[in-house]
Amino acid sequence: MASIRVIPRLDVKAPNLVKGIHLEGLRVLGKPADFARRYYEQGADELLYIDIVASLYGRNNLIGIVEDTTQDVFIPITVGGGVRSVSDIVALLRAGADKVAVNTAAVKRPEFLREASQAFGSQCVVLSIEAKRQPNGSWEAYTDNGRERSGLDAIEWARRGESLGAGEILITSVDREGTQKGYDWELVRRVSSAVGLPVIASGGAGSAEDLSRAVHECGADAVSAAHLLHYGKLSIAEAKRALASAGLAVRP
């Protein structure tokens, strides 16, 4: 069994690391690079940077932050928010990113996923899906940091993203994000069952047990957390010990 990855999620607005609930009501926490270094030193497997207003304003402001981070952080970094073109990807990779997470641009033009994967390899392209549960029990994919409806069924969109060349799926429950009530278990399970790609569970982690449950019961290959880590409720080492105690393989 492949090692389960523990991935801190760092949502960024302008120069600041922020955290909210349901991707809203943001609170400034500090400098993103400072948190990134702390998580690297604690043993994080990867980092996830998301510019949460990039699509709204039509640009990504993370290049400088990524350059700063990679001076002394040496684990894979995925960057999302405002990635709209091959040239955007080139700029982020040159800054030190290893992968890009694409949401809004892929919904608007799905062929962008194919173009990106052909240019940089599927391993570089993460399809980010921000999902909200609908009254009929399905999930709709949203864009612009959970602000705009896409009309796409999130599970079907994950399948299509795989066929278009995405190498990984980041599935975020907007309903659970920031609540610490646990991931949307059924959503993670449905996406994991629908695709043959690695799936990162995101949105709602409130305990070490939530992390292991996302893997054991729902089939996630990686777990992303923000509030749990940013506020010091759990360290990376504690998260990995909990996963190992649950019988899961983790990296040292």
In angstroms, the CA 64 to CA 68 distance is: 6
| Structural contact between residues 74 and 47, judged by C-beta atoms closer than 8 angstroms | no
Residue 54 in any domain: the answer is: yes
**Positions of E strands within 175-233:** 199-202, 222-225
Q: What percent of the chain has pLDDT over 70?
A: 96
Residue 252 in any domain: the answer is: no
Task: Report in angstroms the alpha-carbon separations of 203 from 47, 81, 108, 115, 231.
Answer: 15, 16, 23, 28, 15
Residue 251 in any domain: the answer is: no
User: In CATH, what number is assigned to the domain containing residue 237?
Assistant: 3.20.20.70
| 62-101 pLDDT, tens digit each | 899 999 999 999 999 999 998 999 999 999 999 999 999 9
3-state secondary structure of 167: coil
**pLDDT for res 210:** 97
Sorting pLDDT into bands at 50, 70 and 90, what band is 24? low
**pLDDT for res 23:** 66
Residue 250 in any domain: the answer is: no
Residue 52 reports pLDDT greater than 90: no
Residue 64 in any domain: the answer is: yes
Sorting pLDDT into bands at 50, 70 and 90, what band is 14? confident
**Residues with catalytic function:** 11, 130
Q: Which of 52, 44, 57, 48 is nearest to 15 (CA)?
A: 52
The number of domains in the chain is 1
86 lies in which domain range? Answer: 5-245
| 101-135 pLDDT, tens digit each | 999 999 999 999 999 999 999 999 999 999 999 99
